[in-house]
Amino acid sequence: MVGEGSLFLNHLLMIGPSYDQNLFFKKSVNYFWGYMKDADTCSSGHFPCYEGTNMMNQRLCWVVGGSVFVSVRIISRYKQELYMQQQAIPVTLYSKSVLLAEPRGFCAGVDRAIEIVERSLAVYGAPVYVRHEIVHNRYVVQGLKDKGALFVEEVDDVPDGALLIFSAHGVSQAVRKRADGRGLRLIDATCPLVTKVHLELLRHYQNGDQVILVGHAGHPEVEGTMGQAPVGAVLLVATPADVALLQVNDPERVAFVTQTTLSIDDTADVIEALRARFPHLKGPKREDICYATSNRQRATKALAASSDVVLVIGSENSSNSNRLREVAERSGATAYLIDGVEDLDPCWFSAHDRVGITAGASAPEVLVEQVVAWLHARGYAEPELISVGKESVNFGLPEQLR
């Protein structure tokens, strides 16, 4: 059988680069796998195969659990010509690799918000009410529901005298006034970095500046931030094209703030357009995009540079998780946003050796561990770390819970 495999691979290697390689190899590998899948062993490490050395294009064979697997990779991103060799050579047996980004997962604001809900349940007992999802992660929200938290979208959905927690995304002044008017017991889980943006916006507004918010319409953080000033006082932009359409009363009295979970690169483009249009533009002394968003995007760029597929663990309504998927794609990797291991599709990995994993700021580490275990059960090696630094930020709890 090894001889047959050698002849077959030699035949593959005679195909010139002008051939329709993608179509050919899809069919060829299916055929080759068809009569090699029953192989008992390939323990000698000298199975006939072709291995690219200084080229991105390569044909690899490896052994997992006593079965022979063949991976054919035609990578065109560097547009290198494939030089075929009509020979069978020994091949090193490679494990499929898993790379983990660092930092990843929970940030200080998310840790604080979840602890606020858990501590409130312990101190005041169930139920406690939370306006909007405390953080945008399905696993976290379900876990808190199981402990006795009830999530609502409007203050009016909360019974008189109940305890209401504001989510990490923050709320408008109108929501606060409505809750105060109801006489509800309130605990604020707004991320301190979101509160910082609220205070910046209010200061600019009180100084008579036209305030522009860079952010995504409909996101609860954006609604809360715009709601720090009267309705209509804050203008919202998301792209450089939006900047061109702005109408302001005094071009020399313009200031901006940003949502904390945006793409660093996209936001830089919008701010550049704002500065080009309004030369006297005022902005924050330090960028409003939070440290965790920035760090996770930097880590994802490094991860994507070494990965064929990047898995971003996070929920669909998580802004920062969606930005990580976009960053990975722009960095050249195929990327998928998943809530957890139940979303994985084995077909995603049929032609890839290197799988990178990161997690949005609202995704717990247990979900990462489950994905790593799923890959390990399918022949992937123990994970390696791709680190761009560590984080040591902590935020204190509200006075009611200290």
Please state, in angstroms and rounded to a whole number, the distance separating the CA atoms of residues 223 and 231. 11
Count of C-beta atoms within a 10 Å radius of residue 178: 15
356 neighbors 306 (Cβ within 8 angstroms):
yes
77 neighbors 331 (Cβ within 8 angstroms):
no
Tell the residue number behind the tokens 């357009």, with chain if given.
273
219 neighbors 252 (Cβ within 8 angstroms):
no
Pairing type for strands 58-64 and 67-73 reads: antiparallel
Q: Which of 221, 272, 287, 316 is catalytic?
A: 221
Burial 68-83 (b: 16+ CB within 10 A, else e): bbbbbeeeeeeeeebe
Residue 136's nearest CA partner among 351, 397, 375, 337 is 337
209 neighbors 253 (Cβ within 8 angstroms):
yes
Max Cα-Cα span within the chain: 83
Please state, in angstroms and rounded to a whole number, the distance separating the CA atoms of residues 310 and 304. 6
Residue 84's nearest CA partner among 48, 57, 60 is 57
Is-catalytic flag, 399?
no
Measured CA angle at 152 (ends 146, 293), to 5 deg = 80
Question: Catalytic positions, please?
Answer: 221
